[in-house]
Chains A and B, each alone.
Chain A
Amino acid sequence: MVVNKRNKKSTNRSTHLILSGLKDAVPIMLGYFSVAMAFGLLVKSAGLYLKDAVLFSTVVFAGASQFMALNMLMSGISPLSIVAATFLVNFRHFVMSASLGSRLDKPKIWQIPLIAFGVTDETFSVVMAGKGSLSAVYVITVSFFSYISWAGGTVSGYLLGTFIPDALGDSLGMGLYVLFVALLVPEIKKHLKVLWVALSSGLLNVVLGSVSQIGQSWSLVLGVIISSMVFTLLTPKEPEVPSE
């Protein structure tokens, strides 16, 4: 087989990016599969069709707000209110996309919608854990496998019920929080400041969340923005947590 040198090199690079994306996606996939199974089962018990479950998970691809929307749908809340609530809940991804965008290494124009579609709490956290600029191929790979697992979990949950025992299913769902801790701790080891950023944002989230008017998603967005802003202002010119 004759492959010109340049092509071979870029193929190797892509393969490498895809493999590392797949590897990093594994914990998300396990967590998503079990959470999505619960979602699939819930859709079924709500008396909706398999196609509804699949459409939900493949077109929307947003964990918490799917559960929320299903709940609202069952309690007879108007579609417009559901859409509005979904927007509020998903607005946090606006902040995440902005942060992700600042690390992306010149994505091609057709890659941008794919990257955007795949931004979730988990995929964002995983891809941002590294340092330096991010390749679009890597980011898309992480989202793609997470997405497959989310969709697959939904279908399995609908068709088979949660064939994973409850205790194990809950543990896999808990795995998503384990993932967040495992991404955070190595950064804390490098810069103690990361702990203060995370802790203050978490505490703000709790405090703002208990002010009932704000609602959970907004307390998260506000907590994240306020703590990031405060630490940006507190840090002199040379950032201790550089993006490179």
Chain B
Amino acid sequence: MAAVTFIPRLLPLIFLKADKLPEKFKQFLSYIPYAVLGALIIPAGLSGIPDSHLISVLVLLIAALVSWYRKSVVLSFVVSVLAAWGLQFVF
């Protein structure tokens, strides 16, 4: 299990050298983080609070709002987690 976890993480780091890649491929690789974030949030994040899509979605919206106005990951995290906690007593 350790090997099959480690190897896919290792191979690209060994074989892909940043300065030797074609521009177009680099551009492709630069989109991947955003695509990954999208696919991590949708759909798993929508049920991040087990059994409550409503709270999960509300919390993600709160996180989005806070990070839109304040570019602090920690602030978004604290506010949203507290909101998630509180909302579980409301709903």
Q: Which A residues are within 8 Å of any B CB, using their own CB?
A: 23-24, 26-27, 30, 59-62, 65, 69, 82-84, 86-87, 90-104, 107, 112-113, 115-117, 119, 121, 124-125, 128-129, 133, 167-168, 170-187, 189, 194, 197-206, 209, 220, 223-225, 227-229, 231-232, 235, 239, 241-243
Contacts and interface: CB of A to CB of B under 8 A. Distances in A.
Given A180-B37, A205-B38, 13 more contacts: A24-B73, A27-B77, A102-B30, A112-B14, A116-B6, A116-B9, A171-B49, A171-B81, A174-B45, A180-B45, A198-B34, A224-B32, A241-B34
A177 B40 contact: yes
B18 A104 contact: yes
Ordered nearest first, which 3 A-B pairs have the shortest CB separation? A202-B42, A198-B38, A177-B45
B48 A173 contact: yes
A180 B10 contact: no
B58 to A, nearest CB: 11
A30 B5 contact: no
Main secondary structure on B side of the interface with A: helix
A102 B33 contact: no
A178 B77 contact: yes
A170 B5 contact: no
B26 A102 contact: yes
Contacts of B6: 116-117
B40 A228 contact: no
A125 B36 contact: yes
Interface of B: 1-2, 4-6, 8-14, 16-18, 21, 24, 26-45, 48-50, 56, 59-60, 63-64, 66-68, 71, 73-74, 76-77, 80-82, 84-85, 88-89
Nearest to A174: B48
A229 B30 CA distance: 11
B77 A182 contact: yes
B4 A102 contact: no
A171 B84 contact: yes
A194 B33 CA distance: 10
A204 B77 CA distance: 27
Nearest to A127: B33
Given A98-B16, A171-B84, A232-B24, A200 B36 contact: no
B85 A125 contact: no
A92 B32 CA distance: 11
A241 B41 contact: no
B16 A101 contact: yes
B1 A101 contact: no
B35 A206 contact: no
A96 B70 CA distance: 27
Contacts of A176: 48
A146 to B, nearest CB: 14
A179 B32 contact: no
A241 B88 contact: no
B26 A241 contact: no
B8 to A, nearest CB: 4
Contacts of A92: 36
B81 A93 contact: no
Contacts of A225: 35
